[in-house]
């Protein structure tokens, strides 16, 4: 199986709500390292991202430890790598500043990866991929695309600080993938009509789509149409007594959902697994100890 992950690999500097600062690769590196842990040996994972010349060799050395990741589609760019400074003001609320921004990936950068079995598009910056390239990919693989809205709904000021901003083309993105992930905050930014969840789905989503709204420590909602009825089903989070770092939990949730869905074709089971995967990530700092993810996951118990 060939899975492509499109987005941005950051260099992160994290200031947790409690504890010492953490420096690590971030962005879709969370997705890569988590999916590498979940996948079997018949799976190859291809990340597509620009990589700055200051970290390129270090990143390639690190990726050698991820046996199922093939770096062939990474693109060396002559600039410093995209960097994000994350400051937590509570265990789950943070502010972000982005530095050394990359240009968007265009069709020419992803077309050699246009024959994969599944695509995970994680808009780490919001401009990771051009809408034109996304729409071309959607025409080929709509049913096998998982889109994490992420920072598509965040603007950026002259100093690199991110702030909420719904782009005019947001609904062109939302109709281009069968599976859509957004968190509660992103839902509120998009939902300017203040519709309830079923009304929002009815207005903006197609009948075969699935909308997943993650809610941090509260779990996640899965929204879908069954016959003529729109259903919003809540999945509670795994309770944790000691949270180390929530950075990347949404990214791990996304690949957890995709991997489970590809194994069982059961969206409910996939959300349950994704919740457990995200909880396991909460117990690890940055991406520096992602090799322990499966052990943390197993310690949380199995899906009933």
- Average pLDDT for residues 177-183, to the nearest whole number? 98
Given the structure tokens 């899906």, which residue do they identify?
Answer: 303
Distance (Å, whole) CA 109 – CA 44: 19
CA-wise closest residue to 214 among 172, 164, 248, 240: 248
Could you list the beta-strand ranges (E) of 108-246: 118-122, 145-148, 154-156, 162-164, 179-183, 210-214, 220-226, 229-235
Helix (H) or strand (E) holding 62: helix 56-63
CATH number at residue 183: 3.40.1190.20
Q: Are 129 and 6 in contact (CB under 8 A)?
A: yes
Q: Which of 13-27, 53-67, 229-243 shows the lowest per-residue confidence on average (mean pLDDT)?
A: 13-27
pLDDT, one tens digit per residue, over 203-221 is 999 999 999 999 998 999 9
What 8-state DSSP symbol labels residue 91?
S
Distance (Å, whole) CA 22 – CA 147: 27
Is 43 part of a structural domain of the chain? yes
Q: Are 88 and 16 in contact (CB under 8 A)?
A: yes
Distance (Å, whole) CA 95 – CA 77: 27
Q: Please, what's the b/e burial string for 34-50 (b: 16 or more CB within 10 A of its CB; e: otherwise)?
A: bbbbbbeeebbbbbbbb
Domain that holds residue 211: 2-299
CA-wise closest residue to 254 among 32, 104, 46: 32
pLDDT, one tens digit per residue, over 109-134 is 999 999 999 999 999 999 999 999 99
68 token code pair: 């199922």
In a 3-state reduction of DSSP, which class is residue 210?
A: strand
Q: Are 92 and 217 in contact (CB under 8 A)?
A: yes
pTM value is: 0.95
Is 304 part of a structural domain of the chain? no
Given the structure tokens 């060939």, which residue do they identify?
Answer: 2
- Which residues, other chains included, contact 168 with Cβ-Cβ below 8 Å and sequence gap of 6+? none
Domain count, the chain: 1
In a 3-state reduction of DSSP, which class is residue 146?
A: strand
What 8-state DSSP symbol labels residue 11?
E
pLDDT at 303: 59
Is 128 part of a structural domain of the chain? yes
304, pLDDT greater than 60: no
- Average pLDDT for residues 279-285, to the nearest whole number? 92
Dihedral sign for Cα atoms in the order 200, 203, 206, 208: positive
pLDDT, one tens digit per residue, over 259-276 is 999 999 999 999 999 999
- Which residues, other chains included, contact 301 with Cβ-Cβ below 8 Å and sequence gap of 6+? 276
For residues 199 and 241, which has the higher predicted lDDT (pLDDT)? 199
90, pLDDT greater than 90: no
Q: Supply the mean pLDDT for the chain.
A: 94
Is 152 part of a structural domain of the chain? yes
């Amino acid at each position: 199986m060939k899975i492509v992950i499109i987005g941005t690999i950051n260099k992160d500097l994290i200031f947790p709500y409690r504890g010492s600062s953490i420096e690590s690769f971030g962005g879709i590196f969370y997705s890569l390292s988590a999916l590498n842990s979940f996948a079997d040996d018949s799976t190859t994972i291809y990340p597509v991202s620009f990589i700055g010349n200051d970290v390129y060799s270090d990143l390639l050395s690190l990726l050698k430890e991820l046996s199922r990741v093939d770096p062939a589609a990474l693109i060396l760019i002559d600039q410093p790598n995209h960097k994000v400074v994350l400051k937590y003001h509570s265990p789950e609320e943070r502010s972000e500043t982005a530095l050394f921004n990359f240009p968007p990936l265009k069709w020419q950068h992803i077309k050699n990866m246009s024959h994969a079995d599944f695509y995970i598009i994680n808009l780490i910056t919001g401009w990771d991929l051009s809408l034109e390239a996304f729409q071309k990919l959607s025409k080929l693989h709509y049913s096998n695309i998982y889109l994490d809205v992420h920072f598509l709904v965040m603007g950026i000021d002259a100093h690199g600080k991110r702030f909420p901003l719904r782009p005019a083309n947001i609904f062109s993105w939302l109709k281009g993938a069968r599976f859509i992930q957004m968190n509660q905050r992103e839902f509120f930014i998009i939902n300017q009509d203040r519709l309830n969840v079923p009304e929002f789905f009815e207005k903006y989503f197609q009948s075969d789509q699935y909308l997943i709204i993650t809610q941090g420590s509260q779990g996640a909602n899965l929204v879908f149409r069954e016959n003529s009825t729109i259903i919003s089903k809540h999945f509670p989070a795994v309770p944790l007594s000691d949270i180390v770092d929530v950075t990347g939990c949404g990214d791990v949730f996304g690949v957890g959902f995709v991997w489970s869905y590809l194994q069982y074709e059961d969206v409910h089971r996939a959300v349950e697994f994704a919740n457990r995967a995200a909880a396991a990530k909460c117990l690890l700092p940055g991406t520096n100890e992602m090799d322990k993810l499966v052990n943390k996951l197993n310690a949380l118990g199995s899906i009933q």
